[in-house]
Amino acid sequence: MTRRSGGPAVAVIGGGIVGLATAAYLAEGGARVTLYEREAIAAGASGRNSGVVQHPFDPALVPLYHETVTSYRRLAVVAPGAAFALPSEPAGLLLASHHRRVAEALAAHLWIVVPDLEPEILDSAELRALEPALANDLHAVRVPVAYPVVPAAPTYAWANHAERVGVTIRLGRAATPHVTRGRATGVDVDGRLEAADAVVVAAGPWTPALIDPSGRWRPIRPLWGVVVETLLADPPRHVIEEASMDVALGITDLSAAAGGEPVDSAETPETSIVTAGGATAVGSTFLEQEPDPAAWTERILRRAATFVPAVADAPIRETRACARPLAADGRPLVGAVPWVDGLFICSGHGPWGITTGPASARQVADAVLGLGNGGAAAIPAAFDPGRFGIPDEPRQDA
């Protein structure tokens, strides 16, 4: 389906889940949209993640999660054949530890931030009855969340839908916002200006460099993860995560907080195990520098095998690395860039872009189109792109 409209011309930079969903929402709203991707659809984390649509446990992000789940269900109706099927029920999440006190500390924390999920502690016997694949020395918090998906499937579904609603997708094209006298007038591509009324940058960890080439404004940084995709014969039905997933939970170090050994995330993988589409994604690392994935395979599997012993012998399909676009406060930057008219940002979803990205894409699309309850005003202050200061006046507290 190609839509003809006299709406604004909008350039979107980035062919990950956020850029593609943004482009689709803009086109649905009547804009003439061109999306530029320097490599291929889902070339970044959007195609290489662990594959779980998961409750983010941060109250500011929870509405994005619920809207994103609804958006996936809508895609299955409006774009049948092109979309993937989100499981009808969550698989359930087991936050597991070898130490009961860690499970207890985590359960206490979750009862404060998400009491409606009624997290329960399971001891090793209960766990083994529930999931025979698990090691026999574990304790876990069970939360009724987590939809496993084939990691790239949501992004391809948005790409298919974007094309159906008339988005022009240009692959292998690196684009840079073209700014003249404080206003974005289009994008520079292959040394030429391609004019647009507005530009949205959704380029994952590479977003700040496109917004502020001076290098002063860097509220989003890459946090690299390695995932080993295995063919585990009898995988757990639940999503398994190590209970010290401090990045996800916003706790500095749960293990140390509970009196255990501090976890050095630069050296030690933190286990996650997600099965969808016949493959089991075993992760992951949280690294500041781009890693050599092969150098991490053995360490990731060794640690994961302390949770699911069969992982040690599972055939490996591939090992891959990708970068989480992590904002300094863990929340995305969504909306108008305060110091350039016509320039918008949607990035910084960190470990949860498949879970929250599409809903924030809808928000930034509404802001570009001036829709919603007051347009940009409808975007929560927690996602304000100006909260880390502007390049000329960096805030001390950013």
Q: Which residues bind ligand FAD (CB under 6 A)?
A: 13-19, 36-39, 43-46, 49-52, 54, 174-176, 202-204, 206, 210, 225, 227, 283-284, 322-325, 347, 349-355, 357
Q: Could you give the 3-state DSSP secondary structure of residue 212?
A: coil
Q: What are the residues facing 53 on neighbouring strands?
A: 147
Return all residues near 130 (Cβ < 8 A) that are at least 6 apart.
122, 142, 238
Nearer Cβ to ligand FAD (213/259) = 213
CB of 34 to ligand FAD, least distance (A): 11
Nearer Cβ to ligand FAD (78/171) = 171
What gap in Å lies between CA 293 and CA 310, rounded to an integer? 21
Nearer Cβ to ligand FAD (17/199) = 17
What gap in Å lies between CA 344 and CA 241, rounded to an integer? 34
Task: Choose among 182, 170, 158, 191: nearest CA to 340.
Answer: 182
| Per-position DSSP letters for 23-71, written without gaps between them | HHHHHHTT-EEEEEESS-TT-SGGGTS--EE-----TTTHHHHHHHHHH
What gap in Å lies between CA 146 and CA 161, rounded to an integer? 24
What gap in Å lies between CA 332 and CA 348, rounded to an integer? 4
Nearer Cβ to ligand FAD (225/342) = 225
Nearer Cβ to ligand FAD (62/174) = 174
Nearer Cβ to ligand FAD (44/166) = 44
The residue written with tokens 């994604």 in the block is 281
| Per-position DSSP letters for 342-372, written without gaps between them | TEEEEE-BGGGHHHHHHHHHHHHHHHHHT-T
CB of 351 to ligand FAD, least distance (A): 5
The residue written with tokens 């930057």 in the block is 333
CB of 69 to ligand FAD, least distance (A): 11
What gap in Å lies between CA 257 and CA 294, rounded to an integer? 32
Task: Choose among 80, 53, 84, 81: nearest CA to 66.
Answer: 53
Nearer Cβ to ligand FAD (105/141) = 141
CB of 124 to ligand FAD, least distance (A): 26
Nearer Cβ to ligand FAD (307/352) = 352
Amino acid at 44: G
What gap in Å lies between CA 130 and CA 311, rounded to an integer? 18
CB of 287 to ligand FAD, least distance (A): 10
Task: Choose among 78, 82, 81, 60: nearest CA to 70.
Answer: 78
Nearer Cβ to ligand FAD (206/344) = 206
CB of 137 to ligand FAD, least distance (A): 26
CB of 393 to ligand FAD, least distance (A): 26
CB of 75 to ligand FAD, least distance (A): 16
CB of 82 to ligand FAD, least distance (A): 18
